[in-house]
Structure 1
Amino acid sequence: MDDLRDASRSLTEPVAEIVERAGLTPNMLSALSLCFSFLAFLFYCISASDHRMLFAAAIMVMLNGTADAVDGALARRMGYADRRGDLLDHVIDRYSDVLLLSGVIFAGYVRWEIGLLAVVGVLMTSYIGTQAQAVSLRRCYGGMLGRADRLVFIIIATLANAIYPERIDGLHILGWMVLITMVLSHITAIQRFVHIWRCLGR
C-alpha cells in the first residue's frame, strides 16, 4: 500500500503553511517538482562519469517528492483544489516518473530493456489507479509500490550507489532498484486492476 502518502500529511501541512506565506501557488509547486525531476535526470546522466553526482540527484529526488506532496496540501489550504490542478499534478507526476527512471537508464546502471519495462510498469500502475475514476469509482492508490514508496526507494538506492558504486552480482545498486521497481510495479498494476474489477462486479 501507498502508506507513506497518509503518514506524510502531518509533515506536509506545516510546510504548506510556510509556502503559502511565501506567496507560492499549488501550480507553481507542481512546476517546481518537474524542474527538480529534470535536474535529477541530468545529475543521473552526469553520474555515469562521476558517481558523486548521485548525491545531487538524490537531493533533487527529495525535493521533487516534497514539492509534489506539499502542492496538494497547499491547494486544500488555499481552496484551489480543482480538476485542472488535479490534472496538472498527475501529468507532471508522470513526466517526473519517466525522467527519474530515464536518468538511471541513460547513465547505464541497467540495461535499457529492463528500464523500459520498469517505465511501462510505473505508468500502468498510475494509469490503472486513475482509471478507476473513469468507471465511477474512487481513485485507487493500493498495491505493493505506490509513488511515495517508489520515491523513497529511489532515494535510498541512489545514496547507497553513491557510497558504494561497485556492482553487486552484475548490477549496480541503482540497477537492482530499477529491476525491483519493474517487478513490483507490474504486480501493483495487477493488484489495482483486480481490486477495481471486483468493485465493479459488486
Structure 2
Amino acid sequence: MPTIYDLKPKFQALLRPFCMRLADAGVTANQVTLIASGLSLAHGAAHIMNPGAKWVLILLPIILFIRMALNAIDGMLAREFGQASKLGAILNELTDVISDAALYLPFAFIPGLPAPLVVVAVLLGVIAEMTGVIGVQIGASRRYDGPFGKSDRAFFFGALAILLIIFDPGRWSTVLIAFACALSAATIVNRSRLALKEVQNANS
C-alpha cells in the first residue's frame, strides 16, 4: 500500500548535495540522528509547558519537516559515506520512537482533545515500528509497509496541529485521532503479514 515513505528517494536526491558537504565537514550520521532527536525532545518539552499554544502548534510542521530531512541525511551518511554501524542502527530505531513520543504525546495535554485516545495512537505507532523491526528478527527485511508509517504519522500530526490553530477541538478531532489509531492497527497487521510472507517466499 503506497505511503508518504515512497517519496523518500526523491527527497534524498534533493538533499544529497547538502549531505555531501556535511560528510566533507566531518559530520557523522550518529551526530545527525542525535540532533534530530534533541530537536524533537525540545519541541515536546515546549508543548508540554505550553499545551495547545498557537506558536507551538505552528512550529510542529516545521520541526517535523526538519526531522524528516535529518533522518534522510543520517541514512545517506551511513549508507553512502561508509558510516554505517551497529550503534547507528540502534540509535536510528530508538530515537525514532522516542522522538515520536516526544512530539505527539503532548497533544494529550491540549484541553478538549481525548487524552487516552492520543496515548493509544502514540502507543500503536511505537508498536508499528517495533513490528517493522521484528521482521529482521524472523529473517525478513525491516518492514516499512503502510498505510500509516512514520512519515504518514508525521503528516497526520502536523495537519492536526494546523487544524487546531484554526478550529477548537471537538468531535472532529476525536474522529480523526480514532482514524489514526485504526490506520496504525492496520499497519501492524500489514507489516506482520508481509514479513511472514517474505520469509515464506524465501524458504520456498
* TM-score band w.r.t. shorter chain: 0.7 to 0.9
**Cα gap change, 1:144 to 1:128, in 2 (>3 Å):** same
**For residue 61 of structure 2, what is the amino acid of its counterpart?**
A
Q: Are the equivalent residues in 1 in contact too, given 2:141–2:195 (CA < 8 A)?
A: no
Q: Any conservation in 2 of the 1:5–1:148 contact (CA below 8 Å)?
A: no
Classify 1:193/1:20 alpha carbon distance in 2 versus 1 (closer, same or farther; 3 Å).
Answer: same
Aligned equivalent of 1:196 = 195
1:23 aligns with 2:26: yes
Equivalence for 2:113: 110
Amino acid at match of 1:149: D
**Aligned partners of 1:177 and 1:25: how far apart in 2?**
38
1:89-168 equivalences under 5 Å are 89-108=92-111, 110-162=113-165, 164-168=166-170
Residues 61-72 of structure 1: pairs in structure 2 closer than 5 A: 61-72=64-75
Provide the C-alpha distance between the structure 1 equivalents of 2:115 and 2:28, rounded to a whole number of angstroms.
Answer: 37
Task: State the match for 2:9 in structure 1.
Answer: 6
Quote the Cα distance in structure 2 between the aligned partners of 1:53 and 1:69. 24
Letter aligned with residue 141 of structure 2: R
- Assess, with a 3 A threshold, how the Cα gap between structure 1 residues 57 and 199 changes in structure 2: closer, same or farther: closer
Question: For each residue in 1:53-112, what CA deviation from the matched residue of structure 2 results, as whole angstroms up to 9, or x when unmatched?
Answer: 211233222222221121111222320112221111111111011111112122345222
Mapped to 2, the partners of 1:49 and 1:143 lie a distance apart of 29
Total equivalences in the alignment: 198
Q: Does 1:169 find its partner at 2:171?
A: yes
Match of 1:52 in 2: 55
Unaligned runs of 5+ in 1: none
For normalisation by structure 2, the TM-score amounts to 0.85
Whether the aligned pair in 1 keeps the contact of 2:113 and 2:170 (CA below 8 Å) is no
Work out whether residues 30 and 68 of structure 1, in 8 Å CA contact, stay in contact via their aligned partners in 2.
yes
Q: Indicate how the Cα distance of structure 1 residues 44 and 58 shifts in structure 2: closer, same or farther if over 3 A, else same.
A: farther
Residues 4/201 of structure 1: CA separation in 2 closer, same or farther (3 Å cut): same
Identity, % of aligned pairs?
Answer: 20
What CA distance in whole angstroms lies between the structure 2 residues aligned with 1:181 and 1:86? 27
Alignment gaps of 5+ in structure 2: none
TM-score by length of 1: 0.86
